[in-house]
Amino acid sequence: MNTIKTMTATVLSGVRRHPGRAAAVCAALVAAGVFAGQTVASAGPAPSLAVTPAELHAKPAPLVMDFDNGLTGPRLKAHTRRYSVPVAWNVDGCDHDYGTPNVCVPWQIPAATPEAACAWLKANQFYLPLKVYGTNRQHLPENAKGYVCAGAT
């Protein structure tokens, strides 16, 4: 340990006394390292991959999930004909008796009176008057042509 300290002190004192010589020696060492292809950063062993080049460029194996191994119990048969699931016609929350098919008048308009319901529809940018195609279930004011909220426009 003392020899390393002594050598370091000797080198540093030489650099202090003759900085031009130290720069010339360092430049020569750096140039030799550059031409030899080694630098301080690459003095260690060359990096290598954990896999071989053949494995690196091979196609990946297909992902096969074995989720049915060891199942017990009866197997269900697939149906040969199509079945429809019964869904209520108002499942989307829209009252389809009012307006066009792409208009969704709420099943329950948040208003206390029919006039307030027309004002709510107008405030929420429904194009009034709305045509009634079924029953006027919400008892909105209706004219003789089958339109509701005609006076709110």
What pLDDT, in 10s, does the model give residues 79-105? 788 877 787 777 888 888 898 888 889
Q: How far apart are CA 143 and CA 151, in angstroms?
A: 9
What mean pLDDT do residues 131-141 have? 91
Contact 98, 131 (CB under 8 A): yes
Q: Where do the structural domains in the chain lie, given as residue ranges?
A: 2-36, 92-153
Contact 122, 131 (CB under 8 A): no
Largest Cα span, the chain = 113
Q: How far apart are CA 117 and CA 142, in angstroms?
A: 13
Answer whether residue 116 shows pLDDT above 90: yes
Mapping DSSP onto H, E and C, the string for 122-145 reads: HHCCCCCCEEECCCCCCCCCECCC
Please, which pLDDT band fits residue 22 given cuts at 50, 70 and 90?
Answer: low
Treating both helix axes as pointing N-terminal to C-terminal, what angle do 2-17 and 19-36 enclose, rounded to 10 degrees?
110
Q: Which range, of 35-39, 112-116, 119-123, averages the lowest pLDDT?
A: 35-39
The owner of tokens 């307006």 is 99
Q: Closest Cα partner for 25 from 4, 13, 11? A: 11
Q: What does the mean pLDDT of the chain come to?
A: 79
Contact 107, 92 (CB under 8 A): no
Contact 137, 97 (CB under 8 A): yes
**Paired tokens of 7:** 């050598």
Provide the 10 A C-beta neighbour count for residue 149: 23
Percent of the chain predicted with pLDDT > 70: 75
Provide the pLDDT for residue 90. Answer: 72
Provide the pLDDT for residue 7. Answer: 62
Percent of the chain predicted with pLDDT > 90: 20
Answer whether residue 118 shows pLDDT above 90: yes
